A and B are shown apart, each in its own frame.
Chain A
Amino acid sequence: GEKVEQHESTLSVREGDSAVINCTYTDTASSYFPWYKQEAGKSLHFVIDIRSNVDRKQSQRLIVLLDKKAKRFSLHITATQPEDSAIYFCAASKDYAQGLTFGLGTRVSVFP
């Protein structure tokens, strides 16, 4: 089955700088790549996604890049703010109805 590797387990960034989280996947049939955010003691909520028919997507300060040849996708958080501190999970799926395969998560800490 699909395996998703999330390369950074922790990231520490200065407020205002950018944070980049990288993920790779194994199944070439995967076509949907969402990102979720989990704040301390809370549940996960959706932040942004990208599908395999595009290679870049932006939503406000979040940018997702997809490189299908390398089976790699990344989340860029620009102009980081303290409220961006959280654990971020990447995920992949080839058939969304069958559920997502998640990475292990990246703990992002934004310091002043």
Chain B
Amino acid sequence: EAAVTQSPRNKVTVTGGNVTLSCRQTNSHNYMYWYRQDTGHGLRLIHYSYGAGNLQIGDVPDGYKATRTTQEDFFLLLELASPSQTSLYFCASIRDRGNTLYFGAGTRLSVL
């Protein structure tokens, strides 16, 4: 089964802090995604990428940057974290269009 690895698994920061969430997949998948999961909102797409150097804006991008440095690695950056960004973040990937989306284990972020 495809593996998507997220780090850290848990992170606590303060308002205004700088946070980087990491995601790595070693499945040769082209497409990678960052979602956040919140009670009452389900999963919402933040950013996604078609490949190294490519970045696309999702449905809730405000306050987030992302960077896809290689085919394997996709990062989510919060440069001025706010309490509203307290959430469970999932990274996911697929090889090509129409294939199954594989999720990482998630990163729980708390912004105090």
Interface size of A by Cβ–Cβ distance < 8 Å?
24
- Other A-B pairs beyond A6-B42, A104-B41, 16, CB < 8 Å: A1-B59, A32-B98, A42-B105, A43-B104, A44-B43, A45-B103, A46-B101, A89-B42, A89-B43, A96-B99, A98-B56, A99-B33, A99-B45, A99-B48, A99-B58, A104-B40
Chain B residue at smallest Cβ distance from A6: B42
Interface size of B by Cβ–Cβ distance < 8 Å?
26
CB <8 Å contact, B90 and A44? yes
Question: Which of B42, B59, B104 is packed against the most chain A CB atoms within 10 Å?
Answer: B42
Contacts of B35 in A (CB 8 A): 99
Sorted nearest first, the 3 A-B pairs with minimum C-beta distance are A104-B42, A102-B43, A99-B45
- Chain B: minimal CB distance from A94 (Å): 11
When each residue 36-80 of chain B gets 1 if its CB lies under 8 Å from chain A and 0 otherwise, what string results? 000011111100101000001011000000000000000000000
Which of A60-112 touch B at CB < 8 Å?
89, 95-105
The answer to whether the Cβ of B94 comes within 8 Å of any Cβ in the partner chain is yes
Alpha-carbon distance A95/B97, docked complex (angstroms): 8
- Chain B: minimal CB distance from A58 (Å): 17
Binding site for B on A (CB under 8 A): 1, 6, 32, 34, 36, 42-46, 49, 51, 89, 95-105
* With known contacts A34-B101, A105-B42, A96–B48 Cβ distance under 8 A: no
The answer to whether the Cβ of B15 comes within 8 Å of any Cβ in the partner chain is no
CB <8 Å contact, B31 and A97? yes
Candidates B40, B56, B98; contact of A96 at CB < 8 Å: B98
